[in-house]
Amino acid sequence: TKMEADAKAAEPATGDLTREELLRKVRELRDENARLRKDLRETKSKDKGPPKGITRLLTALIVLVMYNVHYFVEGIYNRIFVFLGLILLGKLVGLPFAPLQVPSERRIQTLMVLLFFPIINMFEALAIYFLYLWYFRYDWRMLLPMIMYTVWILVDQTPKRGGYKWCKSIFRNFPTHRIVAKYYPAKLIKTADLPPDQNYLFGYHPHGIISVGAQANFGTDSTGFAELFPGIDITLMTLKLTFKIPFFREWCLAHGLSSCGAKSCDLLLSPRKSGKAIMLVIGGAAESLDSRPGIMDLTILNRKGFVRVALRNGAWLVPCITFGENDVYAGIPNERGSLVRQVQNWLQKKLGVAPVLFMGRGVFNYAFGILPHRRPLTSVVGAPLQCPHVPDVKKGDEIVNVWHERYIKALKELHDSHKEKYAIKNAEMRLF
């Protein structure tokens, strides 16, 4: 009709918008996009990262007060009152506490991580050991078994042979491991089949603080390693010092862990066997100093010993990257060349262990503690590199350099082809 035609003519066309109106619409779309991105980040993880700036100092002070002042207050009701007051003070300075309304499944996951976390278990084992020695220091009949056990720790060669093989499958399939894996959650991705008639050397990257991805995805069967790679018996290699810790060493040996010496690797990858695999964290303790969220710095350019082990035993090299390994803990700023980094490097040379300073989360807060943050841990296993069998390979041989370069190339391709899908922060890989 004529009225409808007049109304349609009165409507402003898109091309008739002024420059100011177009800019306003662009700003509105940009703000809406920023809001959606923020909501997406909050949906991925409800954990709040560690506080920044002055809040870090205030958080540390609040935690110290909560663990000390509360302890010295007499009377149960007074302690409850002080504790609630300190929690309120912590909220005022931005200390992110866990909400009260949390699904029971998540509570159980946190509890299992608290009970079976390696760092905590090591301190618990050492505390039991020394308390036993102190309590029975005047009773030689009670001291004698512990002294004999200590001597056994010093002379035992089981860590070089791959742990207690008779119970390895039982401990690797503990139900608690699956609960711990869901805490992050941890996930294992296969990109190629591994024939069970070969031996393999898995290279794990990055080291992170304590390689929690290696423990969840390869140290246990919680994410289905045995189903994804049938016929492959994998052994996670770790520091020799781990097997000097009383009681804790038995837990590690029961899971089939082994010390990462050259003789241990050769014994486990002997060409006379097949279907055997070991996993080495290539970067080692030095790489743990580069563990910070959003960083993928790998120490590998001068690490060629693992290539010699593979060539000497005819094992195929398998690159493996875990996205999220560096995100479960917040490290201190220690760029290469900084004063902090120089002190850490000096202590590492003197002590043999990297002095890593990090911050995780607590049981009831997300800002301070020793537990890892909930971040997805996705381990991607690449295609194997079919190394030849060179029994007499030596350090400096050209064939070592050739296969080392091929491994680095495969590692880069593996990272670049999966980072957009699995990386929490799309960080570029840097090699040192």
Q: Is the peptide bond before 185 cis (omega within 30 degrees of 0)?
A: yes
CATH number assigned to the domain covering 104-431: 3.40.1130
pLDDT of 54 strictly over 60: no
pLDDT digits (tens, 9 = 90+) for 331-368: 777 777 788 778 877 877 777 666 777 778 877 777 77
The letter for the amino acid at 282 is: I
Confidence at residue 19, expressed as pLDDT on a 0 to 100 scale = 72
Residue 270 binned pLDDT confidence (cut-offs 50, 70, 90) = confident
Instruction: Measure the CA–CA gap between 164 and 254, rounded to whole angstroms.
Output: 5
DSSP string of 234-273, one letter each residue: EEEEE-GGGGGSTTHHHHHHHTT-EE--HHHHHHHT-TT-
pLDDT value, residue 430? 87
Rounded Cα gap, residues 416 and 413, in angstroms: 5
Tens digit of each residue's pLDDT (9 = 90 or more) over 273-330: 889 999 999 988 788 888 888 888 898 999 999 999 999 999 999 999 999 898 888 7
What average pLDDT score do residues 388-417 get? Answer: 92
pLDDT of residue 25: 78
pLDDT score recorded for residue 32: 77
Q: Hey, what's the torsion of the CAs at 214, 219, 221, 226, to 10 degrees?
A: 90
Is the predicted pLDDT of residue 392 greater than 80, yes or no?
yes
Q: Tens of pLDDT along 143-189?
A: 999 999 999 999 999 999 988 999 999 999 999 999 999 999 999 99
E-strand ranges in 12-98 read none
Q: By C-alpha distance, which of 432, 391, 388 is closest to 406? A: 388
Amino acid 420: pLDDT: 86
Q: What is the mean pLDDT of the chain?
A: 83
| Distance between CA atoms of residues 84 and 107, nearest Å | 21
The pLDDT tens digits of the residues spanning 95-125 come to 666 777 788 898 899 899 989 999 889 999 9
Per-residue pLDDT band at 41 (split at 50, 70, 90): low
- Out of 11-25, 64-78, 207-221, 285-299, the most confident range is 207-221
Can you give the residue ranges of every domain in the chain? Answer: 104-431
Q: Is the pLDDT of residue 67 over 60?
A: no
Residue 34 has pLDDT above 80, yes or no: no
